Amino acid sequence: MNFESSYPTAVFCIIATEFCERFSFCGLRTILSIYLRNELLFSENCSTVIYHVFIMVCYIVPLAGAVCADSILGRYSTILYFSVVYLIGNILMCMGAVPLLDISSITLSAVGLFLISVGTGGIKPCVAAFGGDQFRLPDQKDLLQHFFSLFYFTINLGGFVGMILTPILRKWVSCFGDDTCYALGFGFPAALMVLSLLLFILGKPWYRLKTPKENIMLQFFNCTMYALAKRCKSGNKNPTKHWLHAARDKYSAKLIRDMKIVFAVLFLYVPLPIFWSLFDQQGSRWTFQASHMDGNVLGIQIVPDQMQVVNPAMVLILIPIFDKVVNPWFAKLHVMENALHRMAIGGLFASAAFLSAGVLELVLETTYPKQPEEKHASINIINTLPCGVKVDNPFNGVQRIESSGVHKFENILCDNFTKYTLLVEASETCGTIYLGRHRHNLEVAALEMQTDTVLIGINVENKVQSFITDPVDYQKSLSGKPRIRVAYIKSSILLHDITVSLRNQAGLKDVYFVHSSNSSFLADSAYMELPQGVYDCVVASKEIPILHAESFGLDLGGVYSLVIRERNMKIEFFKLYIMSAPNTINILWLLPQYFLISVAEILFGVSGLEFSFTQAPKSMKTVTIAGWYLSVAVGNFLVILITQANLFKSQAQEFFLFAVVMVADMMIFIEMASHYRFVQLEADSSVNFGNQEQLPLISNAP
């Protein structure tokens, strides 16, 4: 095998190292938000903020890693030292998840997350560039391009396996008396980082090491400031010359030439954060979207979190297809021949993905529960009597509600807090019950943007009485699991220690307790999330082991109220109400948008890494890659800003906004890229301009 066609041996150590690192990082990231909420007891909003801040730091630190690699330590030492920091962070996260240690879990986890973000951020701009250093250019430029595809394939393979295996270890293994084991979930990624570090060190005999000879970053900064200051003092006397030319009297022509190239590359990075603001919503907005869908696929339940695996799985499949089929075919047609071509098309694919997400969201919105608007409230009235009732109300006159029926007064006027009086009237003879009082004035204190539920029942004196439950939110759960609460009307003073137990076929049991009292009252629980399935419900008391037994099913996305009324030591009313309909649209309808975003990632991500490396001068390759990763951090920050701004009531409108902004962003990128002059691959000492083998982004561009 000749030199030009053989892979450098060192590359395989680097690829194996990257696989282990990606497994560790993606595995940890997959269970992080659940750990923050369920174990450290942060709220969902706070957990989300912590998660995104962690990701942002991971993509800001590459700047420091780039400085260390290009100006101080060199790429090998930078990767080595930051990997040690990374490993220490993993160990602290594992220790923080061990409840037996007499150390604050929050403190250990906070320090661990910070060290992990510093460690992974520090090596991010170095690994790809260090792998590229192992090739001799321009002789092995074809192998180099293939390496970036293989490198990106490895990133996704490691992430894919980590995202599948780590949650399984966390969920299926019990430890420290808990039914989950976060210590193992974090400990296994730590073990992978040990392996990653060992593989990287073992490859040292084969590496081509390039130690920086001068502090190029300091020169870069000083030259920039000197040129700007001199240009401002002298004025723009010669607008045809580059502003860096003002520093020629103090700095070398090569440094200025290299800096011009770097600034040209970084200038093209300005529109890139918009792409990442779309791409990173897979872990937030798209996951929430999945929670509103039916995850039943061929009898197997897919939970919303698992849909995040679709993207790396598709990328693993598509990268070889693009590398061996699509790219060569387009090259013959003289289409997408360079990295900027592919990045622009990738951005348009991302826009198409969000257009698809928006259309799907419009369909899903028809299944969402209607929440009261501003200055409005809603009241649900459920009739548990064996006869119909009339409700004289100030909203729409007299409304009849049949036995076991429910009526919702939607969007009634409410200025913060408004009291309404309704007259409830039943027949004197209600079924087989003679009512001592068949009329009842019901006072409801409506709160703005809130739904109150009223149960019409009977008290111990056989009089009509209304019971108002605690205000609830009928929104679907973020996890996609069904939500249920129990409302129990007790009208007997002879029963004690009443329980309502739910047990599914897997043996999971949930028990609700009703305290004893000498008067009629309503006991209502908070909403609980339970797995989908069929449940056996048993109502029992100290005096009677089984007051009532019945089975019912809970479906994904459904919000249920189980209403029970007891009188004279008997259960007279038992019904499960669907307050929000279960998910009916299958989760597989997410696949089109995942396919589009995966194609976008290949065209944008692989090509972006290739462009960042091949277009940078030798001494500044890591800087351009760090700039690439910094655009990811800015993209995450944009997501936080737009989310907090709460511009739209409809999520579909927000998706469409992102799609339109992405198209506009790519139009700007295409215009900017059409003026970019490509640089030939460096051989030994210089960067060459010329009539490059790559074409301008816009056909027939000047």
Reported as a single tens digit per residue, the pLDDT across 395-425 is 888 999 999 999 998 888 887 778 888 899 9
Question: Which residue's entry shows tokens 């030259």?
Answer: 223
Please tell me the class of the 370-471 domain. mainly beta
> How far is the first Cα of the chain from the last one, in angstroms, to the nearest whole number?
42
Question: Which residue's entry shows tokens 């460690």?
Answer: 119
Beta bridge partners of 445: 419
pLDDT of res. 700: 30
pLDDT of res. 431: 87
Question: Is the CB of residue 579 less than 8 Å from the CB of residue 369?
Answer: yes
pLDDT of res. 701: 30
684 pLDDT band (50/70/90 cuts)? very low
Intrachain domains 370-471 and 474-582 with the same fold: yes
Question: Which residue's entry shows tokens 């009313």?
Answer: 573
- pLDDT top residue among 262 and 646: 262
The lowest-confidence range among 439-448, 663-672, 684-693 is 684-693
What is the model's pTM?
0.75
Quick one: which of 308, 109, 141, 295 has its CA closest to 678? 141
pLDDT of res. 479: 64
658 pLDDT band (50/70/90 cuts)? very high
Residues 6+ apart with CB under 8 A from 73: 81, 212
Q: Is residue 186 over pLDDT 80?
A: yes
Question: Is the CB of residue 183 less than 8 Å from the CB of residue 21?
Answer: no
Could you give the angle at the alpha carbon of 524 between the alpha carbons of 518 and 528, nearest 5°?
150
Averaged pLDDT for residues 591-601: 95
How do strand 559-567 and strand 483-490 relate by DSSP bridges?
A: parallel
638 pLDDT band (50/70/90 cuts)? confident
- Distances in Å between the alpha carbon of 684 and those of 139, 265, 625, 681? 11, 21, 20, 10
Which amino acid, residue 71? S
Reported as a single tens digit per residue, the pLDDT across 4-61 is 457 778 888 888 888 888 888 888 887 787 777 767 877 655 776 787 788 888 888 8
Q: Supply the DSSP symbol for 33.
A: H
Averaged pLDDT for residues 188-195: 87
Q: Which CATH superfamily is domain 1-213 in?
A: MFS general substrate transporter like domains (1.20.1250.20)
State percent of the chain over pLDDT 70: 90
Dihedral sign, Cα of residue 312, residue 316, residue 321, residue 327: positive
Quick one: which of 195, 152, 295 has its CA closest to 587? 295
Distance, in Å, from the CA atom of 427 to the CA atom of 627, rounded to the nearest integer, reads 76
The SS3 of residue 631 is helix
698 pLDDT band (50/70/90 cuts)? very low
Burial of 367 (0-12, 13-18, 19+ CB in 10 A): middle
For the chain, the domains span 1-213, 252-367+583-702, 370-471, 474-582
- pLDDT top residue among 363 and 606: 363
pLDDT of res. 178: 66
- pLDDT top residue among 558 and 640: 558
The CATH classification number of 252-367+583-702 equals 1.20.1250.20
Instruction: At 456, give phi and psi (nearest 5°).
Output: -95, 120
Q: Give me the count of residues in the chain.
A: 702
User: Among the CATH numbers 2.60.40.1120, 3.30.499.10, 3.40.50.720, 3.40.50.1370, which is that of 474-582?
Assistant: 2.60.40.1120
Q: Is residue 529 over pLDDT 90?
A: no
Averaged pLDDT for residues 275-290: 82
